[in-house]
Amino acid sequence: MSDSKPGKTTAIVAYITIIGCLIAITMNIEPKNAFARFHIRQAFGIHVLFHALAILLTYSGYVYLSLPIYIFYLIIWVFGFLQVLNETTKPLPFLGKYFQKWFTFIS
């Protein structure tokens, strides 16, 4: 993919916390890069999912599920990050294609 090289740095930044994702969104405003956009959406989905599950667990009282949630977050984060390093645009299993549909505001 020839479009991946220029957007690789932006895509890497997207995976570094939700703040990094917001920074990557601004980095990808001009010039737009399809590779970076794909990974920004994936990373944004990973971060939002993690924070939503953390908030849900906090208020539901199921604190014992914290460790599995962190492990799940780490696994999908590593999967996404490795996709950037390998310069591929393979969506996350199960949720990746939905992240691309749901976060179309990230252009």
Q: What is the DSSP letter of 95?
A: T
**pLDDT tens digits, residue range 28-68?**
988 899 999 999 999 999 999 999 998 888 888 777 888 89
Question: Nearest-5° angle of CA 15, CA 3, CA 98?
Answer: 50
Confidence label for 107 from pLDDT (cuts 50, 70 and 90): confident
Domain boundaries, the chain: 4-102
Cα separation, 61 vs 13, in Å, equals: 33
- Quote the pTM value: 0.87
Cα separation, 36 vs 59, in Å, equals: 34
Amino acid found at 106:
I
H or E element in which residue 63 lies: none
